[in-house]
Amino acid sequence: MELLFGASFGLPNECYSNLTGSGISFGVSIVKSVATVTGISVVTRAISFLFKIYLTRTLGAEVIGLYSICLSVFFLFIALTTGGLGTVLSRKIAESEAGGDNLKPAAYLGTAMGIALAAAAIALGIGYALTPDKTFILSDERALPMLKIMLPALITTTFYIVIRGWFWGTKQFGIFSVTELLEEILRVLFTLILVSGVISGISGASGLALAFTLSDVAVALAVFAVFLKKGGSFKRGVSPKELLKPALPLTAMRVLGSAVGTILALILPNALINAGSTVSEATAAVGRISGMANPLIMVPNAIIGSLAVVLVPEMSADNARGDSSRLQSRIDSAISFAIAVSGLFMAVYSALGTELTQWLYKDVESGVYLEKAAWLMLLTPVNMIVATCMNSVGMEKESFLSFIPGTLLMLASCWFLPGYIGIDAVIVANLLSLSVEVVINLILLHKKIKLKFGFIKTLVSVACIAVLIKLFADFVCGICARLPLFAGLAISGITSCLLYAGMACAFGLADLKRLCGVFKKRRRQQPPSNSADRLKSST
């Protein structure tokens, strides 16, 4: 599904307070952690987004399409090597520390690393066995040389994913996010060097693939160095079964999800070709979805994903302590917050998608797709947070079972519908898949923890606001039609965002006065630090 849409701050209980209206409430510790992760994530995604614009303009949609096909196969193998180990590792570490056992984290990490690296070695062998001169796993054989260059990164990617799971579980959210930022920066640097043709004989598609692998090695070494500096270590003492049992459902789900991406990379271009497109047009269509529209659709994930990262260990600890009241409050608040954030982008994209992609990529077709797909952003944050919650409370098996029917509907839609509605089949496929998964997961989660459904009010409110914002943005864009593209886009976008913020306050989705009051209260509670303390903190 990634192809279609695209991976202790503990405070006293007295500090917990509502930050926004409509049931969206988090502790100050959660807010600080989310703010830290979000700040770094925004920078990371901004770099990634700008760089994708550069690649798209430099290499074109067709090469980006080939790269996307390779990534779908690569991530299938990564799902096999790490699967749900990272999530389960972070949950187990958080639970053990909540129970006062500070020795087990290293044992959990050692066992997880042994399992993952063994799986990576096997996956690497299978990968090369399946990629001779011709292969059935790629819809366009021009991608084969790129894939062969990228496969060795299976070892290093697996290694640092497991290490990052340790940072995640020990609630070192800042370091967890910084390693992701480092990964993006190194990838950009290596790609700029190799794609530009600075090194003789290496450029274009081959340079893009080689940059992927070399930057991955550099990231693994850097992450390991940080891990050692933070006192990390590997120990024995945990049975592999203790990690494998909860990880297997997640692994199966992620393998299936990655397999779906790989299958879609095969069947979607073929379905488009059967519908009348040429091979180049079909590959370019995949590139427009994955390389142009998806990065925009995933922008809210910089915030929503940060919240998910912070909540996993927090909710795991709540569940281990049996604190159901706080757990339910966290879940309901997280879903409401995610919907409110996603709604802003949904409203703007649905009105200005074509102008935005024309300005960014000099491509109109991806914007047409973006305007239609934007409305799916009403369901994606719900699905994302609910899945995170289920994994945090040990419902990995149930999450996997709900994933199957949605996946089958997605595959069937992408196989049969392109002949009737073209590339819009991808939007219908996602709509059916998301709807089924969200409904089933909410029912299962409610049975487990008596989930509150306060977020439904937020969902309805955001949908109504988004429709009004779209109409307003269309109107302003029409008025600005005679202006240069960027000027009209900026005026329409900024005024739409301001109106969304105002309507969010009017609908009770954001209580800015209370939010400011909480942070002022927190600032007053902290004693002023002297210059020596500040120097120590900065180091």
Q: What is the tens place of the pLDDT at every residue in 384-405?
A: 888 878 877 777 777 777 888 8
Report whether pLDDT(267) > 70: yes
141, 135 in Cβ contact below 8 A?
yes
pLDDT at 139: 61
What pLDDT score does 74 carry?
Answer: 87
3-state SS, 29-53, equals: HHHHHHHHHHHHHHHHHHHHHHHHH
Tokens of 106: 């290293």
Residues whose CB is less than 8 angstroms from the CB of residue 359 and which lie 6 or more positions away in sequence, other chains included: 485, 486, 489
Q: Read off the amino acid at residue 368.
A: V
pLDDT given for residue 171 in this prediction = 77
- Six-digit token string for 297: 């659709």
**Stretch 497-512: mean pLDDT, rounded?**
79
Tell whether the model's pLDDT for residue 491 goes beyond 90. Answer: yes
Question: 38 φ, ψ to 5°?
Answer: -65, -45
pLDDT at 301 over 80: no
How far is 35 from 27, CA to CA, in rounded Å? Answer: 12
pLDDT number for residue 256? 73
Closest to 459 (Cα-Cα) out of 497, 502, 384, 509:
509
Please report the pLDDT score of residue 523 as a whole number: 45
pLDDT higher at 303 or 340: 340
Highest mean pLDDT, choosing among 95-104, 154-163, 311-320, 331-340:
154-163
Find the range with the poorest average confidence among 267-281, 309-323, 434-448, 469-483.
309-323
pLDDT of 14 above 60: no
How far is residue 90's CA from residue 392's CA, in Å, rounded to a whole number? 9
b/e 138-162 (16+ beta carbons within 10 angstroms → b):
bbbeebbebbbbbbbbbbbbbbbbb
Residue 426's nearest CA partner among 441, 447, 411, 404 is: 411
* E strand map for 401-520: none
Residue type for position 316: S
The one-letter amino acid at 523: R
H/E segment holding residue 27: strand 25-27
Q: Is the separation of the CB atoms in 304 and 262 below 8 Å?
A: no
In the predicted model, is pLDDT for residue 304 greater than 70? yes
pLDDT at 83: 75
Residue 29 scores a pLDDT above 70: no
Instruction: Give percent of the chain above pLDDT 70.
Output: 81
Would you say residue 526 has pLDDT above 70?
no
What pLDDT does 197 receive? 62
Domain ranges of the chain: 13-525
Closest CA to 309 of 510, 13, 105, 30: 30
- Condensed to tens digits (0 to 9), the pLDDT of residues 400-445 reads 778 888 888 888 888 888 888 888 888 999 899 899 988 998 888 8
Confidence (pLDDT) at 255: 74
Mean pLDDT score, 44-54 = 80
Q: Examine the pLDDT at 12 and tell me if it is beyond 50.
A: no
Question: Mind listing the pLDDT tens digit for each residue in 117-139?
Answer: 998 999 898 888 887 766 666 66
Q: How far apart are CA 310 and CA 316, in angstroms?
A: 11
Q: Provide the percentage of residues in the chain whose pLDDT is more than 90.
A: 14
Contacts of 107 (CB under 8 A, 6+ apart): 235, 236, 237, 238
Tell me the C-alpha distance between 188 and 194, whole Å: 10
DSSP of 240-306: HHHHHHHHHHHHHHHHHHHHHHHHHHHHHHHHHHHTT--HHHHHHHHHIIIIIIHHHHTTTHHHHHH
Q: Name 322's Cβ contacts closer than 8 Å, sequence gap at least 6.
A: none
| pLDDT for res 465 | 92
Write the single-letter amino acid at 351. Answer: A
Q: What is the DSSP letter of 136?
A: S
User: Which DSSP state fits 423?
Assistant: G
Quick check: pTM over 0.75?
Answer: no
**Mean pLDDT across the chain:** 78
Task: Give the whole-angstrom CA distance, residue 534 versus residue 539.
Answer: 9
| Residues paired with 16 in a beta bridge | 27
Flag whether pLDDT at 488 surpasses 70: yes
User: Which has more confidence, 30 or 94?
Assistant: 94
* 221 confidence band (pLDDT: 50, 70, 90): very high
Assign 168 a pLDDT band (cuts: 50, 70, 90): confident
- What is the pLDDT, as a whole number, of residue 537? 32
